[in-house]
Amino acid sequence: MFASIPGFADFYSQTEMNNQGVECLRLLNEIIADFDEQCEDKWGHLCALADFAIALKESIQEINKHSFNNFELRIGMAHGSVVAGVIGAKKPQYDIWGKTVNLSSRMDSTGVSGKIQVPEDTYLILKERGFAFEYRGEIYVKGISEQEGKIRTHFLLSRVQPNPLILQPRKITGQYSLAAVVLGLVQSLNRQKQKQILTRTTTRAHEGAPPLQPEDVISARWLRGGRGASHRSGG
């Protein structure tokens, strides 16, 4: 994944002109630090998948209301390592293989309409991260149970704790909180723009030209493209 803040270089140049360069860097550091916090949980991707599965169920229910149908999704989930690659010469296709793929598929095919079925290992991770479950029992899973016996499975019901990826209001006090820094930078930028308008208007008045109107002042920084500050995350 790639993410960027277009125009941040121009924004930095403006704040640096007004001796606000340090505050601008402090803001950038705070932004990147907040982004990095999203990578702390090694199972964040699994939680996102669980949230997505729940959202799919809600979506199909909404569709049923408007189409007067009674469709139900049967979803299976599992996690683990896989083998991935591109196969085919004339028509290359990306595909994945392995026990995890088979187990996830069997969680679907052996599941129940309207339910999200997961194996025990997946349940143990998600239940500690705010998800509610209903124990189903032990089931036979073709391709796995022949060697390992029946698999304990659970039905994923819902989230009982807020999604940590939906950021809550930050509780940072002091003059260098994110809100305070942003407010200070915005105020500084506005003061700089007002000063530029006043200077140019005064100069034109001395030269006998009609005064500039606010809509006549277009800062060159909005007209030229600038490289933005970037944050890159692999996943």
Reported as a single tens digit per residue, the pLDDT across 69-90 is 888 889 999 999 999 899 888 8
Mean pLDDT, residues 52-62:
89
- Considering the entire predicted model, what is its pTM? 0.57
Is the predicted pLDDT of residue 121 greater than 90, yes or no? yes
Is the predicted pLDDT of residue 10 greater than 80, yes or no? no
Count Cβ atoms below 10 Å from residue 159 Cβ, excluding itself.
Answer: 16
Please name which of 221, 233, 199, 162 lies closest in space to residue 14, comparing C-alpha atoms: 221
pLDDT of residue 159: 92
Take residue 37 and report the two structure tokens written for it: 């916090």
pLDDT of residue 115: 93
Is the predicted pLDDT of residue 175 greater than 80, yes or no? no
pLDDT of residue 79: 94
Integer Rg of the chain from CA: 28
Active-site residue (options: 65, 74, 106, 159)? 106
Is the predicted pLDDT of residue 229 greater than 50, yes or no? no
Is the predicted pLDDT of residue 95 greater than 80, yes or no? yes
Distances (CA, A) of 159 to 2, 53, 54, 107, 221: 29, 11, 9, 20, 46
pLDDT of residue 227: 44
Active-site residue (options: 115, 142, 150, 193)? 142
- State the chain's mean pLDDT as an integer: 75
Which helix (H) or strand (E) covers residue 5, if one does? strand 2-5
Is the predicted pLDDT of residue 22 greater than 70, yes or no? no
Sequence-separated (6 or more) residues with CB below 8 Å from residue 2 = 230, 232
pLDDT of residue 142: 92
Percent of the chain with pLDDT over 90: 33
pLDDT of residue 203: 64
Q: Which of 4-18, 41-55, 61-75 has the lowest mean pLDDT?
A: 4-18
Give bridge partners of residue 16 from the DSSP assignment.
none
Mean pLDDT, residues 117-143:
95
Is the predicted pLDDT of residue 94 greater than 70, yes or no? yes
Check if 136 is active-site: no
Q: Which residues of 116-132 are buried (b: 16+ CB within 10 A; e: fewer)?
A: bbbbeebbebbeebbbe
Percent of the chain with pLDDT over 70: 56
Task: Read off the amino acid at residue 96.
Answer: I
- For residue range 205-217, what is the model confidence (pLDDT) as tens digits? 566 655 555 444 4
Check if 106 is active-site: yes
Distances (CA, A) of 100 to 22, 104, 105: 49, 6, 9
Is the predicted pLDDT of residue 13 greater than 80, yes or no? no
Is the predicted pLDDT of residue 150 greater than 70, yes or no? yes
pLDDT of residue 72: 87
